[in-house]
């Protein structure tokens, strides 16, 4: 436990350094990228002296490191600036509601993807050499081969226009104990289908490969020689060891919860963070872009830390650096 605690402490101390480097690089790129921020906000008819006055008032004529220092100090106190797309509204007041929308449908898609993909991959591995193996994987590969820009209109046409079962787009929320949730409405079904079905293929294929590798291990043959049933061998010995690499994929997917899907949110009219990031880039809303990048980076660091910790619980043979061995 002492080794695990020291490892976690080291990773936590490294996280601010990583965020500092990422934030400064993003801030500098925003200032030196093509397209003057002030000119875009002031409009094409603004006079040069007006543009210079605005730049001076906002401190944008100072060296970039001074600008970054002011921004970092405000960000540490929870002030991420003002949204230029929604004038007079703080960035955090725009981002967090959209972030909550994105997390909701992505969390459900993540649960379904792994909840379906892991059993399908395990089952396909146990059916190696039969027609059921390629059928199980190939069915989901068919969904994965269709681009989102094609699958979204196709599903809208089928379920909304022809059958009339689902709404074509939108995001409807219901309030439960003061919390707005959109996962209990029919609008959530199309995003779930679009995100889950292609994702199952990747998880199932990876899980199948890991299970096949574990099935050839000596301890599995020993368990079978002891007379254990096939389902017991798979559940107790095979799946647990095959899940270790899957934890890495799960970590990256957890970080992706905050990213959203630009295509899905745009085509289905979901007011999530992915759509807002796309809009912010198009309107040169640098404060919003910075906040989104910082939150995404923090989520990625946290997800990797959780994966490293999960390794020790999934496979007891793994010992983190400095861990006390029995």
Written as six digits, the tokens of 73 are 């100090």
**Per-residue model confidence (pLDDT) at position 81:** 81
**Residue 324 pLDDT class (50, 70, 90 cuts):** very low
**Per-residue model confidence (pLDDT) at position 255:** 65
Instruction: Please give the residue that has the higher pLDDT: either 51 or 118.
Output: 118
- Please check the confidence at residue 230 and state whether its pLDDT lies above 70: no
Query: How many Å apart are CA 185 and CA 176, to the nearest integer?
Result: 13
Cβ neighbours for 314, distance < 8 A, ≥ 6 positions apart: 240, 243, 244, 247
Sign, CA torsion 316/318/322/325: positive
Query: How many Å apart are CA 171 and CA 188, to the nearest integer?
Result: 7
Residues of the chain with CATH 1.10.3720.10: 91-314
Please report how the helices 189-215 and 148-155 are oriented relative to each other, as an axis angle in degrees rounded to 10.
130
Residues in the chain: 326
- Say what the pTM is: 0.77
Q: What is the pLDDT of residues 240-255, one digit of tens each?
A: 777 777 777 777 776 6
Query: How many Å apart are CA 265 and CA 242, to the nearest integer?
Result: 34
Query: How many Å apart are CA 186 and CA 169, to the nearest integer?
Result: 10
Which among 198, 297, 190, 203 has a CA at the least distance from the CA of 248? 203
**Residue 258 pLDDT class (50, 70, 90 cuts):** low
Is it true that domain 91-314 has CATH number 1.10.3720.10? yes
């Amino acid at each position: 436990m002492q080794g695990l605690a020291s490892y976690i402490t080291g990773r936590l101390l490294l996280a601010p350094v990583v965020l500092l480097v990422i934030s400064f690089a993003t801030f500098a790129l925003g200032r030196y990228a093509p397209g003057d921020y002030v000119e875009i906000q002031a409009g094409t008819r603004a006079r040069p002296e007006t543009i210079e006055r605005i730049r001076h008032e906002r401190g944008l004529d100072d060296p970039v490191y001074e600008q970054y220092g002011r921004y970092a100090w405000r960000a540490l106190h929870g002030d991420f600036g003002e949204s230029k797309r929604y004038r007079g509204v703080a960035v955090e007041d725009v981002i967090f509601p959209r972030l909550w929308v994105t997390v909701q449908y992505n969390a459900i898609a993540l649960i379904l993807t792994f909840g379906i993909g892991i059993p399908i991959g395990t089952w396909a591995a146990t059916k190696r050499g039969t027609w059921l193996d390629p059928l199980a994987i190939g069915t989901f590969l068919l969904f994965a081969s269709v681009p989102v820009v094609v699958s979204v209109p196709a599903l809208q046409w089928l379920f909304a226009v022809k059958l009339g079962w689902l709404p074509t787009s939108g995001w409807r929320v219901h309030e439960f104990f003061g919390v707005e949730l959109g996962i209990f409405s029919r609008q959530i079904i199309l995003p779930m289908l679009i995100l889950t079905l292609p994702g199952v293929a990747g998880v199932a294929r990876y899980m199948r490969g890991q299970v096949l590798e574990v099935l050839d291990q000596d301890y599995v043959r020993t368990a079978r020689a002891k007379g254990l049933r096939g389902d017991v061998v798979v559940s107790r010995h095979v799946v647990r060891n095959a899940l270790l690499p899957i934890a890495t994929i799960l970590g990256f997917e957890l970080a992706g919860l905050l990213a959203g899907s630009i295509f899905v949110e745009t085509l289905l009219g979901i007011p999530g963070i992915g759509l807002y990031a796309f809009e912010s880039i198009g309107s040169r809303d640098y404060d919003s872009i910075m906040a989104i990048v910082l939150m995404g980076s923090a989520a990625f660091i946290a997800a990797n830390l959780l994966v490293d910790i999960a390794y020790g619980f999934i496979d007891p043979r793994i010992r983190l650096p400095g861990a006390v061995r029995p």
